[in-house]
Amino acid sequence: MAAYIRSAIDKGLKEICFLDHLTFTKQGRSLSMTPGEVPMYVYRVQHYKRKFKGIIQIKTGLEVDFNPEYTKIVEQIINQYAFDVVGSSVHFAGDWNIVSRQADRENKKLEFDRIYALYLDYLEKMLDYHYFDIVCHLDIIKKFNRRATLECEEKLADKFDKIISKISYHDLTVEINTSGFDHPVKEVYPSERLLKKCLEKGVCVTIGSDAHHPKSVGQHFDKATKIAYSAGCRALAAFTERNRYEIPLESYHAQ
């Protein structure tokens, strides 16, 4: 954590939000923190919050990997701690881990249209729950640069419209996740087209680097803020104790 914080300071960032993952799987495999590790995680972030006070603002976040079978326990965990922000995302379409390079290699023959539709079903279902503030990496399904067939594309675009309307209705924030620039797809999540749709429907956006290494903190923020600005965004959302506030994009650029 200290290395991530130092990297943020070196890059001139004024705040850093940790958004470690919480994933529940049937197989019992540990893909992220376990629920038992959450207290230590929160404690460590609090520790660094105090240690770096006055130097950089540190926020406690959590990214919950949506799984309809575990939402009750997720809510219990979230309610126990003073998180600044909670994100939610879909990493699994059924049993398929859509963010795994290995799973992508092993499932080359699977019909991608079906997996895509399943991913969107999960995403839509996730929006019926209210334990989170941010929808993370909205179209991560494109990570390995696989695309739906032309016949299916229109149907999936309609479904995305429906999802974005639901995000807007629930006043959720959408993350502009810059890690896609370093994945095979080589573009931001969500795509510029989807980002425009979000902004047209009045959805607030924030920005995240999804850093899995200290050097990745704040990666591609310049590119992402330019994309956001040209899509019509004039302020980025930030959170303290689950309350959203806005940072004007112009002033962010000026920093």
Name the helix (H) or strand (E) containing 207: strand 204-208
Whole-number minimum distance, CB 136 to Fe ion, in Å? 5
> x-or-dash pattern for Fe ion, window 34-73, by CB under 5 A?
----------------------------------------
**Nearest residue (CB) to Fe ion, 134 versus 249:** 134
Which residue in the shown chain puts its C-beta closest to Fe ion? Answer: 89
- Taking CB under 5 A as the criterion, which residues in 67-96 touch Fe ion? 89
Check binding of 173 to Fe ion (CB under 5 A): no
For residue 210, the 8-state DSSP code is -
Task: Scan for tokens 């729950």, then name that residue.
Answer: 129
Residue 215: CB atoms within 10 Å: 12
Whole-number minimum distance, CB 143 to Fe ion, in Å? 10
Alpha-carbon span 136 to 160, nearest angstrom: 14
Give CA angle at 180 (12, 234), nearest 5°.
55
Whole-number minimum distance, CB 62 to Fe ion, in Å? 11
**Nearest residue (CB) to Fe ion, 89 versus 178:** 89
Task: Scan for tokens 């016949």, then name that residue.
Answer: 151
Alpha-carbon span 207 to 238, nearest angstrom: 9
Whole-number minimum distance, CB 65 to Fe ion, in Å? 7
Task: Please give the residue ranges that form the binding site for Fe ion (CB under 5 A).
Answer: 89
